[in-house]
Amino acid sequence: MSFYGQEEGTDDTKKEVKSASFSPYIFVQGQFGTSWFYGDLARYQFAPDLENTQVSGGFGGGYQFLPWLNAQMNLLRGFNSAHRKVITPKNAIGTGAGTSQDMKMDMDYWSGDIMLGINVSNLLAGYKDRLVTFGLHGGVGQTQFNSRTYDGITGARLAGRGKYAPAGSTAEGKGLAKRKVALTVPVGADLNFAVSEKFDVFGKYTYTCMATDWADNVIHGEMAVKNDAYSQLSLGLRYKFISKSPAKMANNFDKVELMAVPNPLEERGDSVAVTIKGTFPPKYFIENGVMCFTPVLKYEGGETAFEPMKFKGEDVEGDGTLISYKNGGSFVYTGKIPYKEGMEVSELYVAPVIYNNNGTEYTDCDEALANAPKAVQAEPRKLADGVIHLSKFVRHNESEIVAPHGYELETVITQTADIYFQVNLAYLNKRLPLNKDEANKEKLANSTMDIENGWAVKNITINGWASPEGEETFNEGLSMKRAQTAEKFMKKKIGEDAENMTFVLNGNGPDWNGFMTAVEGSQIADKNAIINVVNSADASKKEEEIRNMILIYPELERDILPPLRRAEINVNTYEPKKPAAQIAEFATSDPAQLSVNEILYAATLTDDLNTKKQVYANAMNQYPKCWRAVNNAAAIELEMGNVDAAKELLAKALEMNENSSEVYNNMGIVALHEGDFNAAEEAFTKAQDLGADVTYNMGVTKLYQGDYAKAEGLLANAGCDFNRGLAQLLNSNYSGAQKTFSCVEPQDAETIYIQAVAASMNNDKESTLKYLGEAIKADAKYKKCATNDMVFLKYRDDASFQALIK
């Protein structure tokens, strides 16, 4: 398992700014500011009358449902005033309706409202930390007010509302302290400044429409808007009850970005590995928080957990990857678990345990959940579907190596003899000392022994030689004449059958090599000087130098030169052999009649594995010290699938010969069958070092080990081989795999099915469905295989695919 993490935006590369984590919260707020009246006595319909600026203020609270939406309630206390120097009221007031008058008014009010607030910045641009945001608000409410209207010149009160109205009149209100009650519709805009995580300062403008035109006691003056209204421009402070707890982190775990690669997972080298890339958003990971994060693969009959990883907040000491509360952080995790049967149909989940740090280190997530402060487990999140398991298709096509039988179909036996000659002569002189030598006479006598025994003659080769002191051209002719003399001798010795035999004559001229070798091996004191003279002399003067040295060194003429004046006779005959049929019969019925090489050869005369097994068993019984027989018997057991028997035989063969490439190769195959891929690689490497070609077997080993690139390279010359196609497929060479599988023989159901797999991985839907249909037709079991095979996950909802597997 490997893991690393980093804060967002801390490296030199440009990163996408991630949205902060949002959780709903309650807030309270207070505001204070100005208030302006808009009615019949106001100078302006919408613009504030600064000469009649009054104050307002209040408090409220609400709930932020979403980053862009809240609901709030506010209670406000405010005052308004207005002064219109020229107005013609339509109601009876002052000097009467229809008369031009100077009027002013004042008003105090309590208002309550329920509003929805929309944060336009977050709605349009997405939620993230911003210093300033813009919003709109609106709702409904109620205002309870008292108002008085005066003559603008004399100051005499002309009318009143609420507590200022005549007792018992309709202008008297039913609200608090006889205030007049009016429904309101407040709307407005606000500008929010985030001064800290929990505090906002805001500016707010609200325009409140009243459901009455009597607030200023004047009806239908000269204003375009029928009803009265007022506005507030306020500065406020808001406090947000934002909690930081493990429970909140657990509830917001869906805000953490997680992506598992690959998806589906893949089995490699008998293991399932996963890489999880994740990002914690800003303001998610609390400073005193710890997260124990354990991916778990769940499948029918069990589940297997990956190694856990631990994250910690900024106030936590000890192990774990630090995640900033303000900035969040990203991470990459890789983990591996052993593959188990049944994992193909599975799901990868993670349900982290989150808790407050208390200084205790917990061994695993379960212990933390049971004992850590405020520990809570987030809802499980699915990260991946199933496991693609293609190594199950690897075929045991490994190449067993049998030791060579050593039997020669054609064995040439050579009998040799020499005839010696006088210097510069080519006739036969049997009185020469060398020709009278008993050992040489015996060789001459035996030279035709095999012919006399009826053996077929291949040929008789005769090489004539001369001693090198003579002139070179003369010596070449002389040596050929000597060969001819020897030919006549042999023909006479053989008799009339010699006419049907092939004689090969060679006149080789002077025997310089023989001369140098004889001198070097002699007892002559100055032999090195002689050798140096010959080596340094000009080619045309070497013979002369030897003639000169003969005068100095008589040993040359006495001991060195005479044996060089000769004709070498080689009688080559074929050793009689048993017929192959007889060897095959004896190997099973009477192995004592055969040599060890003949028995081992007999095993090559049949393709029947049981017969081969019997032959090698007879070889081991007849020749118990022959490691070749033991190794070859093991190779046959492997071909027959008897791995245990092969293993036992190979152990015995290794004891007999610890330097056999054949034994080590076959031991590697046994290790592959047993699932010990490292031992297999070690054995094949040893066999290679001893001279064996283990390229294919090493390629299969790399397939099992999950090193698909090396496997494809090692199997590149395997031709139309199933395992080669599988290596290409697993190494993402999908087109190459399809081509290889298409020429594999035989095209059995499994081969056709794997072609459907290759086509699916190559996103070739048409070929996928074609080969899958053919595979199911050839063997119905592949219908169930396709149903559970994650390779076809992308086609699960396809009608054509469903039709095939139903």
pLDDT digits (tens, 9 = 90+) for 332-373: 999 999 999 999 999 999 999 999 998 898 989 999 999 999
Handedness of CA 687, 693, 695, 696 (dihedral sign): negative
Instruction: Note the residue count of the chain.
Output: 806
Instruction: Determine the Cα angle at 302 with ends 300 and 307, to 5°.
Output: 130
Q: 168 burial class (0-12, 13-18, 19+ CB within 10 angstroms)? A: exposed
Work out the average pLDDT over 79-98. 91
Q: 173 burial class (0-12, 13-18, 19+ CB within 10 angstroms)? A: buried
The DSSP code for 318 is S
H helix count then E strand count, the chain: 26, 27
The DSSP code for 142 is E
Lowest mean pLDDT among 243-247, 490-494, 723-727, 801-805: 243-247
- CA nearest neighbour of 336 among 274, 263, 293, 269: 274
The DSSP code for 577 is -
Query: Cα 348 vs. chain centroid, distance in angstroms?
Result: 17
**pLDDT above 70 coverage of the chain, percent:** 97
What is the rounded CA–CA span in Å between residue 281 and residue 7? 10
What is the rounded CA–CA span in Å between residue 580 and residue 586? 10
Work out the average pLDDT over 685-704. 96
pLDDT confidence of residue 98: 87
Q: 267 burial class (0-12, 13-18, 19+ CB within 10 angstroms)? A: buried
User: Hunting for tokens 């004896």 — which residue is that?
Assistant: 586
Work out the average pLDDT over 69-83. 97
Q: 725 burial class (0-12, 13-18, 19+ CB within 10 angstroms)? A: buried
What is the rounded CA–CA span in Å between residue 251 and residue 265? 27
Please, what is the average pLDDT of the chain? 92
Lowest mean pLDDT among 267-271, 464-468, 484-488: 267-271
Quick: pLDDT tens for 630-689.
999 999 999 999 999 999 999 999 999 999 999 999 999 999 999 999 999 999 999 999
Burial per residue of 285-316, b for 16 or more beta-carbon CB atoms within 10 angstroms, e otherwise = bbebbbbbbbbbbbbeeeebebebbbbbbeeb
Under 8 Å between Cβ of 790 and 769: no
> Which residues 6+ apart lie within 8 Å of 14 measured at CB?
none
3-state secondary structure string, 158-206? EEEEHHHCCCCCCCCCCCHHHCEEEEEEEEEEEEEEECCCCEEEEEEEE
Contacts 24+ apart (CB under 8 A), 583-589: 587/615, 587/618, 587/619, 588/614, 588/615, 588/618
Residue type for position 382: K
Under 8 Å between Cβ of 594 and 602: yes
pLDDT confidence of residue 9: 39
Contacts 24+ apart (CB under 8 A), 670-678: 670/638, 670/643, 670/646, 672/396, 672/398, 672/697, 672/700, 672/701, 672/704, 673/396, 673/638, 673/643, 674/643, 675/270, 675/704, 677/269, 677/270, 677/701, 677/704, 677/705, 678/705
Work out the average pLDDT over 38-54. 91
Token output for 479: 């040596």
Tell me the whole-structure pTM to 2 decimals: 0.68
What is the rounded CA–CA span in Å between residue 17 and residue 14? 9
- Coil, helix or strand for 705? helix
Instruction: Determine the Cα angle at 417 with ends 411 and 422, to 5°.
Output: 155
Under 8 Å between Cβ of 629 and 662: no
User: Hunting for tokens 């994992």 — which residue is that?
Assistant: 343
Terminal CA-CA length for the chain? 41
> What interhelical angle do 627-639 and 609-622 show, nearest 10?
160
Residue 16 clears pLDDT 70, i.e. is over it: no
What is the rounded CA–CA span in Å between residue 585 and residue 733? 50
Lowest mean pLDDT among 111-120, 215-224, 516-525, 725-734: 215-224
Work out the average pLDDT over 564-573. 96
Token output for 145: 């007010």
pLDDT confidence of residue 225: 58
What is the rounded CA–CA span in Å between residue 355 and residue 245? 8
pLDDT confidence of residue 140: 97
Question: φ and ψ at 631, to 5 degrees?
Answer: -60, -45
Quick: pLDDT tens for 266-322.
998 889 999 999 999 999 999 999 999 999 999 998 999 999 999 999 999 989 999
The DSSP code for 41 is T
pLDDT confidence of residue 269: 84
What is the rounded CA–CA span in Å between residue 462 and residue 489? 11
Under 8 Å between Cβ of 619 and 600: yes
- CA nearest neighbour of 708 among 738, 691, 679, 730: 730
Largest CA distance in the chain: 181
- Coil, helix or strand for 338? strand
- pLDDT-based confidence at 399, cuts 50/70/90? very high
Under 8 Å between Cβ of 791 and 761: yes
Q: How far is CA 261 from CA 3, 225, 276, 366, 387, in A?
A: 14, 65, 6, 26, 12
Lowest mean pLDDT among 479-493, 545-559, 610-624: 545-559
- pLDDT-based confidence at 5, cuts 50/70/90? very low
Question: φ and ψ at 522, to 5 degrees?
Answer: -90, 175
All structural domains of the chain: 25-241 (2.40.160.20), 246-389 (2.60.40), 398-407+578-706 (1.25.40.10), 412-574 (3.30.1330.60)
What is the rounded CA–CA span in Å between residue 800 and residue 7? 47
Quick: pLDDT tens for 445-465.
999 999 999 999 999 999 999
**pLDDT above 90 coverage of the chain, percent:** 83
Residue 533 clears pLDDT 60, i.e. is over it: yes
Question: φ and ψ at 760, to 5 degrees?
Answer: -65, -45
pLDDT confidence of residue 221: 55
- pLDDT-based confidence at 50, cuts 50/70/90? very high
Work out the average pLDDT over 696-711. 95
- pLDDT-based confidence at 223, cuts 50/70/90? low
pLDDT confidence of residue 790: 92
Under 8 Å between Cβ of 643 and 673: yes
- CA nearest neighbour of 119 among 102, 110, 132: 132
Quick: pLDDT tens for 747-781.
999 999 999 999 999 999 999 999 999 999 999 99
Under 8 Å between Cβ of 550 and 556: yes
pLDDT confidence of residue 18: 43
Q: How far is CA 327 from CA 6, 282, 322, in A?
A: 10, 5, 11
- Coil, helix or strand for 325? coil
The DSSP code for 361 is P
DSSP 3-state percent helix, strand, coil across the chain (nearest 5):
35, 30, 35
What is the rounded CA–CA span in Å between residue 705 and residue 677? 7
pLDDT confidence of residue 21: 65
Under 8 Å between Cβ of 221 and 149: no
What is the rounded CA–CA span in Å between residue 582 and residue 518? 49
Q: Check residues 545 and 103 and name the one with the higher pLDDT.
A: 103
> Which residues 6+ apart lie within 8 Å of 797 measured at CB?
none
pLDDT confidence of residue 15: 35
